[in-house]
């Protein structure tokens, strides 16, 4: 019977099993854990594992009539989740050197992603001293036997892949006992499951190939993007337009060339980005908010010869000065409207035919995923901007790292007002959803605090991204019901104030999940999630990221975070060596951030290594000073910098928009909170508006000039 069923599954589902050698490596005492996508998952494990495992089955589920035929075929162990003795009996069974199968999620996913992972299976693995064998099932979520009908494109017989990864063991401190040990085992199991999802993901693919893949999965008619013009675009139209525009751009550029893109958040920008991917050009996303000097500097650094932009955008954004400055540097500026006027019926027909059979016309070279995919320019909040070159593999790895921890799916709608020239806006708010089948609404400015909440309400957005500055602005002007549909809000790029977090939770009933990263890390390194959330921290490191904390003289708690992983950039483009790629040393990236990490792996940012002042021999965190000032005056914006001081080495200067700020008030508050006098700014400079970058982060270069 087992042989016949296996042949039927192979025939109908083209089942492919990878990593069979890992099954033998696991030995005899093994706990097999797998993600749970459909009602046929258990059958897949039963049919395609070399040996028949013992299935742990919820006693109440085992009583269902439709499970009874399957249970007669397999060895099973009924578990009563309300009876602790049943778990002990399960542990004793595994100790008899048996292979046992458990689905740690306890239920079939309704999102297509990893859902809640129960602590029980982790405790069973720990107590039985068993090897853990992770198994990834993929493709079963598209069968009629999943719970995703109406959420994804269901196919009668999709291809199913079963990947057996290398066996793992838990390493839990022997001193941890009782509930704490159970909790620790649960976290270990969750990390193992998310690591399994990442390790078995296909992140070694080009971005345009992933767009084609998603069109096959969700269908050409699946709407994927919309902007303020309210003209939605589906995968079929996106791919067709990429072929048409790409063929036109290819006439003015060379393969591998860095091509400037100066466009706001709109559908046309996405088409331009992927059109460049199709023809093997590298889009260099230009930050038009920093002025012509920085933009021209960026063009020189990346040796950009051509910029693609829009006449309408240049006029509305009053960017004529930047365009003229670029032309003076002999940089060719091409308007998309002019290209549209050149497209004839033959071009459209050719693009349409290519769009019907995209795989036949898109043939990337071998290992193309290792090539540069985009150039982003650092915001320059603390110095001269640099070009950051990210490969296809970098971006793909980071989106799969996030996908292994956050349960999002095709039924979600992302609202993205963060600029696409910023890493958070491009990779987090644009590429992650577009390459995952998630519809995204693009809005050109995050500064419209009254309009953005109204559009979130109107579009029924479920996921949004923002910085503290923008999120606090939306919260002040939004109606109480504007965010009724929002499931998750992810904050990054700057520290999330407690007042902002509290306001969103109390007024709108929405939790903000704070994360952390850098342009150089594509960008996410860590994030809080619905499963693991600790306010005040930036969450836990994502899977497949190595790290080390380097001691910093004068800093007692924590160290400088240095990271390595598949999401770390290919390298820098520097102004002193234009066009030359400078890779990170030994693959490690020095974040320059001083962080501490607790026993569960939650990271707390202490501040930038550069943002510490040495006052009277003591190291003072400028970030920590800003943090307590934001608690004292929660509805104002503050920036703290240091200047040379003849007596104490350095002195703190507060730049704030609070019109009645007094040093005496700060000193009194600091004393009440037990904060030392060295952390009280010596000088206060009141301004109408604290300088900000286009990304919403504080412009510390301008702040420093004001302070000096």
CATH of the domain at 695: 3.30.300.30
Is pLDDT at 81 greater than 70 in this prediction? no
Residues 147, 232 within the same domain: no
**Do 194 and 292 lie in a common domain?**
no
pLDDT at 383: 52
Domain assignment present for 662 = yes
Instruction: Return the residue matching tokens 């600790």.
Output: 534
Q: What is the mean pLDDT of the chain?
A: 90
> Are 486 and 397 in a shared domain?
yes
pLDDT at 669 over 70: yes
Domain carrying residue 261: 207-604
Burial class (CB in 10 A: 0-12, 13-18, 19+), 357: exposed
Length of the chain: 708
State the SS3 of 501-513. HHHHHHHHCCCEE
First to last CA, the chain: 82
pLDDT of res. 606: 85
The residue from 554, 572, 604 where one domain ends is 604
For residue 66, the model assigns a pLDDT of 67
Please state, in angstroms and rounded to a whole number, the distance separating the CA atoms of residues 525 and 516. Answer: 6
Both tokens of 518, joined, read 């850098």
Long-range contacts of 474-481 (CB under 8 A, 24+ apart): 474/449, 475/500, 475/503, 475/504, 475/507, 475/508, 476/449, 477/449, 477/450, 477/453, 478/453, 478/508, 479/453, 479/454, 480/507, 480/508, 481/457
**519-558 tens-digit pLDDT:** 999 999 999 999 899 999 999 999 999 999 998 877 778 8
- The tens digit of pLDDT for each residue in 227-269 reads 999 999 999 999 999 999 999 999 999 999 999 999 999 999 9
Q: What angle do CA 164, 115, 9 make, to 5 degrees?
A: 40
The answer to whether position 610 is within a domain reads: no
Higher pLDDT, 626 or 335: 335
Q: What is the C-alpha to C-alpha distance for residues 474 and 300, in angstroms, rounded to an integer?
A: 37
CATH number of the domain to which 191 belongs: 3.40.1130.10
What's the average model confidence in pLDDT over 676-705?
Answer: 85
The catalytic residue positions are: 36
The mean pLDDT of 34-55, rounded to a whole number, is 91
Is the pLDDT assigned to residue 442 strictly greater than 90? yes
Q: Is residue 657 a contact partner of residue 622, using CB atoms and an 8 Å limit? A: no
H-helix segments, 570-690: 622-632, 663-672
pLDDT of 381 strictly over 70: no
Q: What is the pLDDT of residues 136-182, one digit of tens each?
A: 999 999 999 999 988 888 999 999 999 999 999 888 888 888 888 88
Q: Residue for token digits 């965010």?
A: 483
Question: For 493, which DSSP code?
Answer: S
**Cα 470 from Cα 460, distance rounded (Å):** 19
| Model confidence at 622: pLDDT above 90 | no
What is the average per-residue pLDDT within 682-696? 85
Of 559, 581, 604, which residue sits at a domain end? 604
Q: Does residue 611 fall inside a structural domain? A: no
Percentage of the chain modeled with pLDDT above 90: 63
Identify whether residues 181 and 239 lie together within a single domain. no
Q: Are strands 387-391 and 372-377 parallel, antiparallel or unpaired?
A: antiparallel
Per-residue model confidence (pLDDT) at position 36: 93
Rounded distance between C-alpha atoms, residue 388 and residue 692, angstroms:
21
Cα–Cα–Cα angle for 668, 673, 678, rounded to 5 degrees:
70
More confidently predicted of 1 and 449: 449
User: Within the chain, what is the greatest distance between any pair of CA atoms?
Assistant: 87
pLDDT at 617: 63
Same domain, 654 and 582: no
- At 228, list the tokens: 């303020």
**Residue closest to 589 by CA, chosen among 616, 553, 563:** 563
d(CA 151, CA 81): 30
Per-residue pLDDT tens for 564-621?
A: 999 999 999 998 899 999 999 999 999 988 899 998 999 999 877 777 787 876 778 8
Other Cβ atoms within 10 Å of 218 Cβ, number: 20
Q: How high is the pLDDT of residue 634? A: 87
What does the DSSP 8-state code read for residue 688?
S
* Interatomic CA distance for residues 616 and 339, integer angstroms: 62
Residues 461, 443: one domain? yes
The residues with which 632 forms a beta bridge, in sequence order, are: none
Is 47 in the same domain as 129? yes
As a whole-number percent, the residues of the chain with pLDDT over 70 amount to 98
Are 216 and 194 in the same domain?
Answer: no
**Using 50, 70 and 90 to split pLDDT, how confident is the model at 82?**
low
Residue 341 is predicted with a pLDDT of: 93
- Report the alpha-carbon distance of residue 688 to residue 658 in Å, rounded: 8
Residue at 421 is within a domain: yes
- Rounded to 5°, angle at Cα 398 from 397 and 404: 90
**Distance in angstroms (rounded) separating the CA atoms of residues 107 and 674:** 49
pLDDT of the residue at 11: 93
Q: What is the pLDDT of residues 466-484, one digit of tens each?
A: 999 899 999 999 999 999 9
Q: Look at the chain and report how many structural domains it folds into.
A: 3
Q: What is the CATH number of the domain that holds 503?
A: 3.40.50.12780
Question: How far, in Å, CA of 401 to CA of 412, rounded?
Answer: 18
> Are 171 and 306 found together in one domain?
no
Angle between helices 2-13 and 41-48 (to 10 degrees): 120
User: Where does a domain end: 570, 604, 638?
Assistant: 604
pTM: 0.85
Residues 148 and 238 in one domain: no
- The confidence score (pLDDT) of residue 451 equals 96
Closest by CA to 217, choosing from 436, 5, 464, 396, is: 436
C-alpha R_g of the chain = 27
pLDDT of residue 194 exceeding 50: yes
Does a structural domain hold residue 557?
Answer: yes
Take residue 99 and report the two structure tokens written for it.
């292979």
Copy the structure tokens of residue 692: 């900000």
Residue 520 forms part of a structural domain: yes
Domain match, 438 and 468 both: yes
> Quick one: pLDDT at residue 379?
60
CA-based angle 166:167:170, to the nearest 5? 135
**Is 379 inside a domain boundary?**
yes
Q: Residues 622, 566: one domain?
A: no
Average pLDDT over residues 419-447: 93
Judge whether 609 lies within some domain. no
Q: Which are the contacts of 677, defined by CB distance < 8 A and separation ≥ 6?
A: 667, 670, 671
pLDDT above 60 for 382: no
**Nearest in space to 412 (alpha carbons), one of 436, 446, 379:** 436
């Amino acid at each position: 019977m087992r042989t016949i069923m296996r042949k039927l599954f192979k025939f109908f589902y083209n089942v492919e099993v990878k990593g069979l050698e890992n099954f033998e490596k696991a030995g005899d005492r093994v706990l097999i854990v797998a993600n749970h996508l459909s009602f046929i998952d258990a059958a897949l494990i039963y049919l395609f594992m070399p040996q028949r495992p013992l299935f742990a089955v919820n006693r109440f589920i085992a009583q269902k009539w439709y499970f009874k035929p399957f249970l007669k075929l397999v060895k099973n162990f009924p578990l009563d989740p309300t009876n602790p003795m049943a778990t002990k009996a399960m542990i004793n069974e595994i100790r008899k050197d048996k292979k046992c199968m458990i689905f740690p999620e306890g239920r079939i996913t309704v999102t297509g992603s990893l859902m809640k992972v129960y602590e029980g299976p982790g405790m069973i693995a720990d107590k039985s001293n068993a090897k853990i064998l992770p198994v990834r099932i993929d493709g079963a979520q598209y069968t009629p036997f999943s719970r995703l009908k109406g959420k994804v494109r269901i196919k009668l017989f999709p291809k199913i892949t079963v990947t057996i990864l290398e066996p793992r063991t838990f390493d839990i401190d022997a001193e941890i006992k009782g509930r704490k040990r159970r909790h620790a085992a649960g976290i270990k199991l969750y990390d193992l499951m998310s690591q399994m999802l990442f390790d078995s993901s296909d992140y070694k693919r080009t971005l345009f190939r992933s767009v084609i893949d998603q069109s096959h999965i969700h269908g050409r008619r699946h709407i994927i993007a919309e902007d303020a013009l309210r003209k939605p675009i589906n995968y079929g139209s996106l791919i067709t337009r990429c072929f048409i525009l790409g063929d036109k751009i290819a006439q003015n550029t060379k393969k591998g060339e860095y091509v400037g893109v100066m466009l706001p958040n709109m559908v046309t920008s996405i088409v331009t980005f992927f059109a460049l991917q199709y023809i093997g050009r590298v889009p260099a996303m230009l930050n038009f908010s920093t002025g012509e000097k920085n933009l021209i500097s960026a063009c020189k650094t990346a040796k950009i010869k051509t910029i693609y932009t829009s006449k309408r955008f240049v006029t509305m954004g009053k960017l004529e000065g930047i365009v003229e400055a670029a032309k003076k540097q002999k940089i060719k500026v091409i308007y998309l409207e002019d290209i549209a006027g050149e497209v004839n019926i033959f071009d459209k027909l050719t693009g349409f035919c290519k769009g019907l059979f995209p795989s036949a016309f898109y043939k990337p070279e071998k290992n193309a995923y290792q090539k540069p995919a985009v150039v982003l320019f650092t915001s320059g909040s603390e110095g001269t901007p640099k070009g950051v070159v990210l490969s296809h593999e970098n971006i793909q790895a980071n989106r799969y790292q996030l996908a292994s921890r956050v349960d999002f799916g095709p039924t979600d709608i992302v609202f993205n007002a963060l600029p696409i020239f910023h890493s958070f806006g491009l990779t987090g708010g644009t590429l992650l959803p577009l390459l995952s089948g998630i519809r995204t609404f693009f809005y050109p400015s995050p500064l419209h605090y009254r309009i953005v909440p109204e559009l979130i309400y109107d579009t029924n957005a479920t996921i949004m991204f923002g910085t503290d500055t923008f999120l606090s602005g939306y919260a002040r002007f939004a109606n109480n019901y504007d965010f009724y549909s929002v499931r998750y809000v992810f904050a990054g790029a700057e520290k999330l104030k407690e007042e902002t977090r509290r306001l969103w939770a109390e007024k709108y009933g929405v939790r903000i999940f704070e994360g952390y990263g850098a342009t150089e890390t594509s960008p996410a390194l860590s994030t809080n999630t619905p499963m693991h959330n600790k306010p005040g921290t930036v969450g836990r490191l994502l899977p497949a990221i190595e790290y080390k904390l380097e001691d910093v003289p004068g800093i007692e708690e924590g160290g400088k975070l240095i990271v390595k992983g598949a999401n770390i950039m290919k390298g820098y483009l520097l102004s002193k060596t234009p066009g030359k790629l400078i890779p990170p040393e030994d693959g490690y990236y020095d974040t320059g951030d001083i962080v501490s990490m607790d026993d569960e792996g939650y990271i707390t940012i202490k501040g930038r290594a550069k943002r510490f002042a040495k006052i009277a021999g003591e190291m003072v965190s400028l970030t920590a000073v800003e943090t307590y000032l934001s608690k004292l005056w929660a509805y104002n914006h503050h920036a703290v910098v240091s200047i040379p001081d003849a007596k104490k080495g350095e002195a703190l200067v507060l730049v704030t928009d609070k019109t009645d700020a007094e040093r005496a008030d700060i000193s009194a508050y600091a004393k009440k909170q037990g904060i030392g006098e060295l952390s009280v700014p010596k000088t206060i400079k009141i301004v109408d508006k604290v300088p900000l970058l286009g990304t919403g982060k504080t412009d510390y270069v301008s702040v420093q000039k004001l302070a000096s």
